[in-house]
Structure 1
């Protein structure tokens, strides 16, 4: 044990010496590399608006699921957890970044720098884990025709995802990678390091946050798209054949012809399309940040370039945009959330009239579409 602590102390000494090297070789005049003051204030105001929208929008999602037992399905519990992680990101990370964008100086201490970096990766990783669970659930329902996820299992998966996210992000708090107080970035970011252990952890963190979820979700959605396309063609062909056979069997001039059959695929495809939009938003917001983090850790030239501060500012702003993006998509695409939001508003602001409830529907893998005489029965 004493040998272990001596090795750790020696590593910290080396890291401190390397940090001193970083300070001695970095650019000292950051006023010339930062954004112009008017643009900094404008960007900070936009971030404050993003904080307000992200907090209010995601809080409404959580309250709707909490107050309405009918909304506590497995998928809604996952969406509420995703909204909660975005709320935490808006409260514990974005305000400090907005302040630092204006002041171009980190005023919250070195320890809080590591803590904020840990919270940033923690809440982001939790949101990505929820998106991954949702994509696998859609894959099982639409492609494999297996509905494995009920509310009880969803709660277990949520607890596992929180534990996993904490275990992956916590080492950054205790110094398993090089995180510098942001003299050249508006937030504590992964810094350039030549230590193999630091680089290994940084790669593990980035792979867990982006590459593994992106690969699994991309494969799932490609399979889902292919399945939906094949099922749509097969169902329409089956419907046309059934209708023609019914017409031939009637054979009498006086009897009315059966109406054309319309198979109700909108419920399945719309729910899938909503999750697909969330996936596209995640990819567009996080791909630049992933490339930026890898270059920061491995490229000394990029990390010490004059454009690093401006690049980090825009990349961080884009990564925070995802927390605002999700509730807007919920209200746009999910009718139940939109109606429940209108029902929830009178209790707080007394503005909108109460909307009557709607019949509950649920995706079932065993659904069979039958061509009846007047309409398709589900």
Structure 2
């Protein structure tokens, strides 16, 4: 039952991700009205998700659950691992960019928001940082024979092999910080501040009612 459930979930995730993200890309690109700053960022998220879906999900599924070895060669081993890291970094940094755009709009509503040109530049910076940050994964991904069965049958697996445990530990910690911890802290801060500002504001009608009540009390005194 576990294998059947795993197969079903992988297929479901793959089909849903491809169709859903493709629809997002089509709508934004085909409708000029949808080409806003926020939608540019959402489009970038969709591109990152499609990368993960097309380059990682099927290869991981086949190698881990179906064959239990890596049949696609060294080049695809490096490409798949690298693409997976890049797509996660792109998604994380794009979410940070979206939160920054909303933060500026709420905290300083009278100031100019991020322009379309600026958003495209930010997206380019996101990709450059992601590509550079994930580069060591492509360098140190290789084919390995972890057991006698793999060696005898000449059936390798795809994994990262670093020159030393210290280097691997340093990079893993750095990747954890840049991929998860720092983006999460930024999201928590920006959306917490946004929530405080939005919930702290009274609607115009409610504010006028409170003012009228205070004036009526002062007259009775």
- Range into which the TM-score falls when normalised by the shorter chain: 0.7 to 0.9
Q: Distance in 1 between matches of 2:93 and 2:146?
A: 31
- The alignment's TM-score, normalised by the length of structure 1, stands at 0.49
Q: Say which of 128, 132, 137 aligns to 1:167.
A: 132
2:92 aligned residue = 128
Please list every run of at least 4 consecutive aligned residues from structure 1 whose deviation after the TM superposition is greater than 4 angstroms: 178-184, 187-194, 234-237, 242-245
1:229 aligned residue = 199
The superposition leaves residues 211-257 of structure 1 with CA deviations (integer Å, 9 ceiling, x where unpaired) of 1100111111111111112113x756413146669x9xxxxxxxxxx
Q: Say which of 44, 49, 52 aligns to 2:7.
A: 44
Q: Give the number of the structure whose residues are more often helix, by fraction.
A: 2
- Long gaps (5+) in structure 2: 148-156, 217-221
Q: Secondary structure at the match of 2:139?
A: coil
Quick check: which has more Rg, 1 or 2? 1
Change (3 A) 1:171 1:230: same
- Long gaps (5+) in structure 1: 1-37, 248-378
Q: Secondary structure at the match of 1:148?
A: coil
1:239 aligned residue = 208
Instruction: Say if 2:176 is the partner of 1:206.
Output: yes
**Is the Cα contact below 8 Å between 2:21 and 2:46 reproduced in 1?**
yes
Change (3 A) 1:219 1:181: farther
RMSD: 2.8
**Is the Cα contact below 8 Å between 1:54 and 1:86 reproduced in 2?**
yes
**Is the Cα contact below 8 Å between 2:137 and 2:160 reproduced in 1?**
no
Q: Secondary structure at the match of 1:174?
A: helix
1:107 aligned residue = 71
Deviation at residue 182 of structure 1 after TM alignment: 9.1
Deviation at residue 108 of structure 1 after TM alignment: 1.9
Single out whichever of 195-204 and 112-121 deviates more from structure 2. Answer: 195-204
